[in-house]
């Protein structure tokens, strides 16, 4: 593909630095597309934008439009504007400034292709039918809201259920409008295909990867732990509700059973913005909370076990990929390994209840799974390499010079 091709890239969060969740995926996709296109990036920021961020984005992109929004204010406005059948998510991530920038960029530049990250960005370009448009849904967000609703009381439960229903209808509409829609794993794509079987031929999956050189077991770091053994680690942004639920559940339901046999065990919660529910866990003597750290790798590298006790999870969990890439033993709930191409019991350990999870952790601490970390590393290198996975994008973007048409394009079959 020639570099003269102009591509409009819309993201609901500033993709740099790629330090959490979908930002990691978005950044790697952006870098890949910038190798073959002049990328014009439009994105939203709910925190002050630092010059180092803008400088890195401008280094990669032909132009950048980054606009500040207030998350709390956006949510209040969305509730105030709530209309039947319209997802709140659409208004939470709506910005007049981004809308104007997008319209001006489309008029000023000869945009041939559009890549939108998440359904919340799709509305800005839903009418641009003359361009080849790809929507990266990443996860089935409607199902995430449905799962949230099951854990909440009224009236929050009713709001979340409404959002799940409205968002599913919107997602189905978008898949019809866009040329292709991507999900972060084949499992996510299958889930959506079951919800909307009429769009089976319009969806693809593009697996998450991990930077195997950055998360390499050969790298040497000073240990951040006071004790040299029996350290368990959980990494993630700690104001994200599934992460909060995971660590609270783990401390209350799993950790005491581990501590009975290993009283010196320490559970380290590593991640920014811990909520009150997370901070309250610090009262337990075998729980440590770090808040934000400059580099998560030392905490992973020196952990005896990386745990992923998520009870609600969509897509592919980067925390699991990173720990496996660093050859650490991983013990996770089934929800946390969905979409990861690894074999339970061989590459990582999966446990569905507190007793089983505590048992697997104790077995790892006793040395009963030699080679588990090495096999994890090999599996990640084989199945979750960013360069290998991102080549799937090239198959979705026709060579420059082709005329726009509606002829079918090859896709990976998704069985349902």
**What digits encode the pLDDT tens for the residues 291-332?**
889 899 999 999 999 999 999 888 789 999 999 999 999 999
- Same domain? For 109 and 195 the reply is yes
pLDDT at 349 over 80: yes
Q: What is the pLDDT of residue 398?
A: 64
Q: State the Cα–Cα distance between residues 134 and 114, nearest whole angstrom.
A: 6
Alpha-carbon gap, residue 320 to 377, rounded angstroms: 11
One domain, residues 260 and 140: no
Question: Does residue 399 carry a pLDDT above 60?
Answer: no
Residues 239 and 364 in one domain: yes
310 lies in the same domain as 390? no
The CATH number of the domain holding residue 130 is 3.40.50.2000
Percent of the chain with pLDDT over 70: 94
Query: 43-57, 68-82, 241-255, 372-386: lowest mean pLDDT where?
Result: 68-82
Rounded Cα distance between 85 and 278, Å, is 35
Instruction: Flag whether 411 is in a domain.
Output: no
pLDDT of residue 82: 77
In-domain check, residue 406:
no
**Residue 402 pLDDT greater than 50, yes or no:** no
Residue 3's pLDDT is what? 52
Same domain, 263 and 378: yes
Same domain, 196 and 323: no
The pLDDT-based confidence of 66 (bands split at 50, 70, 90) is very high
Domain assignment of residue 276, yes or no: yes
The answer to the question of residue 361 being in a domain is: yes
Are 181 and 311 contained in the same domain? no
Specify whether 289 is located in the same domain as 344.
yes
Structural domain count of the chain: 2
For residue 67, the cross-strand partners are 44
Residue-range definition of the domain harbouring residue 102: 6-209+386-396
Between CA 219 and CA 91 the distance in angstroms is 44
Q: Tell me whether residue 330 is in a domain.
A: yes
pLDDT of 406: 38
Whether 150 is in a domain gets the answer yes
Q: Please check whether residues 37 and 176 belong to one and the same domain.
A: yes
Residue 47 backbone phi and psi in degrees, to 5: -135, 160
Task: Please tell me whether residues 365 and 390 are part of one structural domain.
Answer: no
Question: 149 and 265, same structural domain?
Answer: no
Q: Is the separation of the CB atoms in 128 and 147 below 8 Å?
A: no
Q: In this structure, are 188 and 239 located in the same domain?
A: no
Does residue 402 form part of some domain?
no
């Amino acid at each position: 593909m020639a570099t003269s091709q102009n591509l409009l890239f819309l993201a609901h969060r500033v993709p740099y630095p790629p330090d959490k969740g979908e930002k990691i995926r978005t950044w790697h996709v952006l870098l890949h597309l910038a190798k073959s296109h002049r990328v014009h990036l439009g994105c939203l920021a709910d925190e002050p934008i630092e010059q180092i961020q803008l400088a890195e984005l401008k280094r990669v992109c032909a132009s950048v439009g980054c606009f500040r929004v207030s998350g709390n204010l956006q949510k209040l406005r969305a509730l105030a504007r709530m209309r039947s059948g319209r997802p709140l998510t659409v208004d939470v991530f709506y910005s007049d400034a981004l809308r104007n920038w997008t319209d001006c960029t489309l008029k000023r530049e000869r945009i041939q292709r559009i890549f939108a990250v998440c359904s919340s960005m799709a509305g800005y370009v839903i009418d641009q039918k003359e361009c080849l448009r790809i929507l990266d849904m990443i996860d089935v967000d409607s199902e995430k809201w449905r799962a949230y609703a099951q854990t909440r009381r009224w009236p929050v439960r009713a709001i979340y259920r409404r959002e799940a229903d409205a968002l599913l209808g919107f997602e189905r509409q978008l898949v019809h409008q866009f040329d292709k829609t991507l999900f972060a794993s084949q499992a996510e794509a299958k889930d959506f295909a079951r919800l909307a079987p009429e769009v089976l031929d319009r969806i693809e999956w593009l697996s998450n990867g991990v930077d195997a050189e950055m998360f390499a077991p050969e790298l040497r770091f000073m240990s951040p732990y006071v004790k040299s053994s029996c350290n368990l680690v959980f990494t993630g942004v700690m104001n994200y509700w599934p992460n909060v639920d995971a660590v609270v559940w783990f401390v209350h339901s799993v950790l005491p059973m581990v501590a009975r046999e290993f009283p010196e065990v320490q559970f380290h919660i590593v991640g920014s913005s811990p909520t009150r529910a997370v901070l309250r866990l610090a009262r337990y003597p075998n729980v440590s909370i770090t808040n934000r750290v400059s580099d998560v790798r030392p905490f992973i590298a020196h952990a005896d076990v990386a745990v992923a006790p998520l009870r609600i999870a969509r897509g592919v969990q980067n925390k699991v990929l990173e720990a496996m890439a660093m050859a650490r033993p991983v013990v996770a709930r089934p929800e946390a390994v969905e979409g990861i191409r690894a074999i339970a019991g061989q590459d990582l350990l999966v446990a569905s209840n507190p007793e089983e999870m505590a048992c697997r952790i104790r077995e790892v601490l006793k040395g009963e799974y030699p080679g588990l970390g090495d096999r994890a590393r090999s599996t990640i290198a084989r199945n979750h390499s960013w360069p290998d996975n991102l080549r799937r994008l090239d198959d979705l973007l026709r060579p420059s010079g082709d005329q726009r048409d509606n002829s079918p394009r090859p896709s990976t079959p998704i069985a349902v």
